[in-house]
């Protein structure tokens, strides 16, 4: 066993480096990805290895460089586009939704768009409202693209590798609080595929479904609840489009309760979609209504105490589970 530690950030870099060594068509473009090494240092050092023709610094124009990536993909290249944050990706929404997601369909399956668009998401770094939102569900709403949200080092390493071999556009969300997380250097078998949800912890009393930066909080909540004799099954979605509903439904049919933890806002959330799917497909198995722990409906604040107050935290998750089970909550 290789006991060397690898960070989430390093895992992403390794996947990019491996793909670039294996295929000359792969290149990376985005703001400050070259000499600066990317805003979260994922591409640090790659410019020295591959040069400016393959690690391409772009102007501050998300629509422009995402569009350039889509054009390169149509032309037979395998671009990786880095967008600093999901908030800035909205400037490229037209390119992603109206071009990347539609061209295969509109061309009668004649044109593929093998592009991976990576972007940071989520709160926790005190970067305030223009850098900290969680808009994964906006993209998960759109047919024609795949949406991934790896939460572990192994998934960062190998789901990105799989995405880079996919013939279709993939949106790859990297939660900002995961970049410094580390684990034992994973093996390929630690990441079975990029489409399946995984049961990270087996349990009997309630299914806790989450993804991305909320997974560590969900696992900690499950650990604390175990001390109160509550057995929690924790499911990591990993892929937000397509959704692995089979794994979710099997879990809910076993535990008979569902809590979704989603850092997105509650209204119109991915959590709401999951609750609806479970209500439609597992209604007769449920012992209680499906519930959600989401971010409060305000722009993410800058002060740390307010940022923590409006986003899902371990205590909120624990109390939501206890409330659903009609147990006394933690003050």
Q: Of 116, 181, 194, 188, whose CA–CA distance to 150 is shortest? A: 194
Residue 328 appears among annotated catalytic residues: no
How, if at all, do strands 116-121 and 78-83 pair? parallel
* Residue 294 · residue 107 · CB < 8 Å: no
Asked if the domains at 5-190 and 198-325 fall in one CATH topology, the answer is yes
The CATH architecture to which 198-325 belongs is: 3-Layer(aba) Sandwich (3.40)
Q: Give the DSSP H/E element, type plus range, for residue 246.
A: helix 245-255
* pLDDT band, very low/low/confident/very high, at 331 (cuts 50, 70, 90): low
Is 131 marked active-site? yes
**DSSP symbol at 167:** S
Closest CA to 180 of 285, 331, 322, 41: 41
Mean pLDDT of the 196-202 span: 98
pLDDT of residue 130: 87
**pLDDT value at 188 more than 70:** yes
Least Cα distance to 243 among 194, 195, 172, 291 occurs for 195
Does residue 1 surpass a pLDDT of 50? no
Q: What's the pLDDT tens digit per position in 237-281?
A: 999 999 999 999 999 999 999 999 999 999 999 999 999 999 999
DSSP 205: S
Q: Give domain 5-190's CATH number out of 1.10.10.1400, 1.10.10.10, 3.40.50.970, 2.60.40.730.
A: 3.40.50.970
Backbone φ and ψ for 115, nearest 5 degrees, come out as -125, 140
Q: Which of 31, 131, 175, 181 is catalytic?
A: 131
Among 62, 181, 233, 263, the one annotated catalytic: 62
């Amino acid at each position: 066993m290789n006991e060397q530690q690898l960070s989430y950030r390093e895992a992403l870099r390794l996947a990019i480096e491996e793909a670039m060594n294996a295929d000359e068509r792969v290149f990376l473009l985005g703001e400050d990805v070259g000499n600066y090494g990317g805003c979260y240092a994922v591409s640090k050092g790659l410019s020295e290895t591959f040069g400016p023709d393959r690690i391409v610094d772009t102007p501050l124009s998300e629509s422009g460089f995402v569009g350039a990536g889509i054009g390169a993909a149509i032309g037979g290249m395998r671009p990786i586009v880095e967008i600093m944050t999901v908030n800035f990706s909205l400037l490229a929404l037209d390119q992603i939704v109206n071009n990347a997601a539609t061209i295969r369909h509109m061309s009668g399956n004649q044109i593929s768009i093998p592009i991976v668009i990576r972007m940071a998401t989520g709160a926790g770094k005190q970067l305030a409202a223009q850098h900290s939102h969680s808009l994964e569900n906006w993209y998960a709403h759109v047919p024609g693209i795949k949406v991934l949200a790896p939460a572990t080092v192994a998934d960062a390493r190998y789901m990105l590798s799989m995405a880079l071999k996919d013939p279709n556009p993939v949106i790859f969300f990297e939660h900002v609080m995961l970049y410094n997380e580390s684990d034992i250097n994973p093996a390929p078998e630690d990441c079975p595929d990029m489409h399946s949800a995984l049961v990270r912890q087996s349990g009997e009393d309630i299914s806790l479904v989450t993804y991305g930066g909320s997974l560590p909080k969900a696992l900690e909540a499950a650990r604390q609840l175990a001390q109160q004799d509550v057995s929690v099954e924790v499911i990591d979605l990993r892929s937000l489009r397509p959704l692995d509903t089979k794994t979710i439904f099997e879990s809910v049919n076993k535990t008979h309760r569902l809590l979704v933890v989603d850092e997105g806002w509650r209204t119109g959330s991915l959590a709401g979609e999951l609750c609806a799917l479970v209500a439609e497909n597992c209604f007769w198995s449920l012992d209680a209504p499906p519930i959600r722990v989401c971010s409060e409906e305000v722009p993410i604040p800058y002060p740390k105490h307010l940022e923590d107050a409006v986003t899902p935290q371990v205590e909120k998750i624990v109390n939501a589970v206890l409330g659903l089970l009609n147990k006394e909550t933690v003050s």
